[in-house]
Amino acid sequence: MALLGLFGNDKHMAATTYSERESASERAARRRRQGHHRSAAAADRQGQAWEDAERARQDRGSW
């Protein structure tokens, strides 16, 4: 009979049972943001390495 009590009280359960948990959509958004930050940091390091190599090439000179 407890199963029948679950129907119709979604809002109450969301407010009490799941109040401390992160929602699936919030978790997915957080993971997307974290993934973006990781790729941005890697791209920044790659760009810095290219810049260092380019400056070294220019400092060497071609003659």
Q: Between residues 39 and 3, which one has the greater pLDDT?
A: 39
Residues 10-55: tens digit of each pLDDT: 777 777 777 788 888 999 999 888 877 777 888 899 999 999 999 9
Identify the sign of the CA torsion 13, 18, 23, 24.
negative
User: Which of the four pLDDT bands, split at 50, 70 and 90, describes residue 63?
Assistant: low
| Residue 4, pLDDT score | 57
Structure tokens, 48 = 């810095």
Whole-model pTM: value is: 0.41
| Residue 1, pLDDT score | 44
| Residue 10, pLDDT score | 76
In whole angstroms, what is the distance from residue 8 CA to residue 13 CA?
10
Which residue, among 63, 60, 42, has the nearest Cα to 52 in the 3D structure? 60
